[in-house]
């Protein structure tokens, strides 16, 4: 795992400043503390930070082809590199290393832009082909590895693995994007291809940029989920599921450095540990993070799996003293990022790095096999939408959604306001309502009239609507899984893990997000994913020989923090010093009265605004850094 950066003269902008390239690249030292490398010529400068995982002695980058006319800088892992080396050697290519990086160079020579279709892994890379004066940037299919870029006013394209690298370049604009506050308050992150900044973009997952001097900068897709070619029977699913997963785990265990796994005690991480244990003779190194409040703590489940598979287990509890890391998180993500599980994720990466350099995770299981509770709720709502004509449904449930109280204090079954709101909407807008950190009506109250006018009717729903138009299916469950693969997965889950792991110089691999496994799983009928209100039904059934039922079928807890309590105790001062700071009150995005009201209601115990306050706290820290 590494960090890459570069500068390309799109408009023949003069010489590449080598000292500037070195300066911005060293800002991401944490992504690759083992080595650095540079290549500069008249049109391009490439930079690399290396975290050595494969071919420790021979993987220095930039890496070149035989005659030094093609160079690459690469962040990630190509898991099928050994098979590709054999194939490319048979086609006449000469290899000087045994690293997966060199595979990219020769694959580009052999297949050009289609090289990405041959790679099985996680990657963001830049290829410079001197023969054709072409710069080729690509990001993996699901967006596990990040890639940011910006075109400066002087005509140079600057790109890097992290946003902070671009922001250190004096010619990269720091102008904020008008829509970013609305999108952030809805999603809890800024969805691809956008960032918080008007002139800085994320290369979307499964896309590439192919550039020559003077060319337009347009991202092109090379991969997307297709409509299932067939529908798997229950027998076929159960027969093949574990084998499919075993293959994805096996290829991710290739490493020349110590390797372990995260173990939360949930189904997905427990499954990965169980299969790893059968694939290696030594005990698996496992790590877990828990909380000192029982309703948030899963470490006893993790210990039971560790005992079952005799792993070398390490765990740590988070308590209120760990809130000092809040400031670290604000700086880590470079733009507003509201997922409160970023804190335990950072700490489990920190814990794992003391033992290993590579860790396998269970990320992706809920998205691929439909484990989220919101999926079950959405399907139940869809049944109602199908039974009641929209001419009746929209006004009746719309009215109920307006008058029903927002009962945060009540048990889940009595919190009907969101359900009533969603039943008045179409499927995509209803799902947008379900996933929103702050729902539309609440955003309208919080945002200032001037900012709402500036948005001119725009909402974050527009992003989901655009993705829905490209969905390969109208199956209600698979549609929202597809929407999550395009937004939630790259924007939240994978961003969280990449920044948290790289901040600790740790590589994290996610077998459940293997694209071949995903394409296979997309053929599983929805009724086999969710059955009798049990999410991941076929997945859990297939794993019964490996995991106890109290792990497989217990209620999902998630990886969140006791925010309500912390904002009334250790985090309480931040409500006033940061959320109600002059920067927040005067920035123009918010209604100051509503900001104060949210803080007062939470402090008094009248309402639980923990999730909203965390979102506002992360936004406040971002705004402070803009000064």
Catalytically annotated residues: 2
Q: What is the pLDDT of residue 410?
A: 46
C-alpha distances in Å from residue 356, one per residue of 359, 360, 469: 7, 11, 43
For the chain, the C-alpha Rg in angstroms (whole number) is 24
3-state secondary structure of 139: strand
For 318-327, what is each residue's pLDDT tens digit? Answer: 876 667 788 8
- 12-16, 462-466, 526-530, range with the lowest pLDDT: 12-16
Distance of CA 396 to the CA centre of its chain: 37
Residue where the block lists tokens 């309208």: 444
Residue where the block lists tokens 């804190």: 343
Please name the residues in contact with 179: beta carbons below 8 A apart, sequence gap of 6 or more: 194, 455, 458
In this structure, is the dihedral angle defined by the CA atoms of residues 499, 500, 502 and 508, taken in order, positive or negative?
negative
599 pLDDT more than 80: yes
For 39-93, what is each residue's pLDDT tens digit? Answer: 999 999 999 998 777 666 567 899 999 999 999 999 999 999 999 999 999 999 9
Do the Cβ atoms of 482 and 467 come closer than 8 Å?
yes
For 345-397, what is each residue's pLDDT tens digit? Answer: 999 999 999 999 999 999 999 999 999 999 999 998 888 887 787 667 666 67
- 145-149, 536-540, 554-558, range with the lowest pLDDT: 554-558
Which tokens in the block code for residue 599?
């803080």
Q: What is the pLDDT of residue 404?
A: 61
For 248-274, what is each residue's pLDDT tens digit? Answer: 999 999 887 889 999 999 999 999 999
576 pLDDT more than 90: yes
Strands 312-318 and 285-291: parallel
Report the alpha-carbon distance of residue 103 to residue 43 in Å, rounded: 24
Q: What is the pLDDT of residue 547?
A: 97
- 398-412, 490-504, 550-564, 583-597, range with the lowest pLDDT: 398-412
| HSE, side-chain direction, 13 A CA sphere, residue 6 | 30
Q: What is the pLDDT of residue 229?
A: 85
Which tokens in the block code for residue 567?
């904002």
How confident is the prediction for the chain on average, in pLDDT?
92
Report the alpha-carbon distance of residue 91 to residue 626 in Å, rounded: 52
For 198-253, what is each residue's pLDDT tens digit? Answer: 999 999 999 999 999 998 999 999 999 999 889 999 999 999 999 999 999 999 99
3-state secondary structure of 200: strand
Q: What is the pLDDT of residue 3?
A: 94
Please name the residues in contact with 518: beta carbons below 8 A apart, sequence gap of 6 or more: 142, 225, 364, 368
Question: Which alpha helices (H) appear in 69-115, and where do they start and end?
Answer: 81-90, 100-111
Report the alpha-carbon distance of residue 495 to residue 562 in Å, rounded: 22
Across the range 113-136, mean pLDDT stands at 97
3-state secondary structure of 590: strand
Q: What is the pLDDT of residue 411?
A: 45
């Amino acid at each position: 795992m590494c960090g890459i950066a570069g500068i390309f003269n799109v408009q023949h902008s003069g010489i590449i400043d080598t000292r500037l390239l070195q300066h911005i690249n060293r800002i991401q030292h944490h992504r690759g503390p083992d080595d650095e490398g540079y290549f500069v010529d008249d049109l391009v400068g490439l930079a690399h930070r290396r975290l050595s995982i494969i071919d420790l002695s021979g993987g220095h980058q930039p890496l070149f082809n035989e005659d030094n006319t093609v160079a690459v800088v690469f962040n990630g892992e190509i898991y099928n590199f050994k098979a590709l080396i054999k194939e490319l050697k048979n086609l006449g290519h000469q290899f000087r290393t045994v690293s997966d990086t060199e595979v990219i160079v020769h694959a580009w020579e052999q297949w050009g832009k289609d090289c990405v279709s041959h790679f099985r892994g996680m990657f963001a890379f830049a290829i410079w082909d001197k023969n054709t004066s072409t710069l080729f940037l690509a990001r993996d299919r699901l967006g596990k590895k990040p890639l940011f870029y910006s075109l400066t006013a002087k005509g140079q394209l600057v790109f890097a693995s992290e946003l902070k690298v671009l922001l250190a370049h004096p010619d990269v604009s720091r102008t904020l994007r008008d829509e970013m506050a609305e999108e952030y308050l809805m999603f809890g992150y800024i969805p691809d291809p956008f960032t918080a900044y008007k002139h800085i973009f994320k290369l979307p997952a499964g896309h590439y940029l192919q550039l020559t001097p003077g060319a337009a900068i347009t991202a092109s897709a090379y991969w997307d989920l297709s409509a299932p070619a067939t529908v798997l029977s229950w027998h076929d699913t159960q027969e093949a599921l574990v084998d499919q997963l075993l293959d994805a785990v096996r290829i991710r265990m290739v490493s020349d450095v110590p390797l372990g796994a995260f173990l939360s005690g949930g189904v997905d991480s427990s499954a990965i540990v169980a299969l790893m244990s059968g694939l290696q003779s030594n005990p698996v190194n496992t790590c877990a993070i828990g909380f000192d409040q029982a309703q948030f703590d899963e470490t006893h489940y993790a210990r039971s799996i560790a005992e079952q598979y005799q792993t070398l287990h390490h765990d740590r509890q988070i308590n209120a003293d760990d809130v000092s890391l809040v400031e670290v998180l604000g700086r880590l993500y470079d733009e507003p990022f509201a997922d409160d599980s970023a804190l335990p994720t950072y700490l489990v990466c920190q814990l794992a790095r003391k033992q290993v350099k590579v860790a396998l995770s269970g990320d992706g299981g809920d998205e691929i096999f439909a484990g989220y509770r919101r999926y079950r709720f959405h399907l139940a709502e869809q049944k109602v939408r199908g039974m009641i004509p929209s001419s009746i449904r929209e006004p009746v449930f719309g009215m109920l959604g307006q008058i029903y109280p927002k009962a945060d204090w009540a048990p889940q079954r009595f919190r009907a306001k969101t359900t009533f709101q969603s039943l008045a909407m179409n499927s995509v807008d209803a799902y947008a309502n379900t996933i929103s950190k702050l729902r539309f009506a609440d955003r309208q109250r919080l945002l200032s009239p001037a900012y709402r006018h500036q948005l001119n009717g725009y909402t974050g729903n527009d992003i989901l609507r655009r993705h829905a138009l490209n969905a390969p299916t109208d199956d209600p469950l698979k549609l929202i899984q597809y929407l999550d693969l395009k937004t939630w997965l790259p924007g939240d889950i994978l961003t969280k893990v990449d920044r948290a792991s790289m901040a600790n110089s740790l590589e994290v691999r996610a077998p459940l997000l293997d694209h071949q496994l995903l394409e296979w799983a997309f053929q599983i009928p929805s009724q086999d994913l969710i059955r009798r209100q049990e999410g991941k039904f076929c997945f859990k059934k297939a794993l019964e020989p490996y995991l106890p039922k109290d792990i497989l079928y217990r209620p999902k807890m998630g990886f969140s923090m006791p925010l309500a309590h912390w904002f009334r105790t250790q985090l309480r001062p931040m409500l006033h010093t940061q959320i109600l700071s002059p920067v927040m009150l005067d920035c123009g995005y918010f209604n100051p009265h509503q900001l104060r009201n949210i803080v007062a209601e939470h402090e008094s115990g009248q309402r639980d605004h923990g999730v909203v306050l965390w979102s506002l706290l992360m936004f406040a820290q971002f705004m402070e850094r803009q000064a």
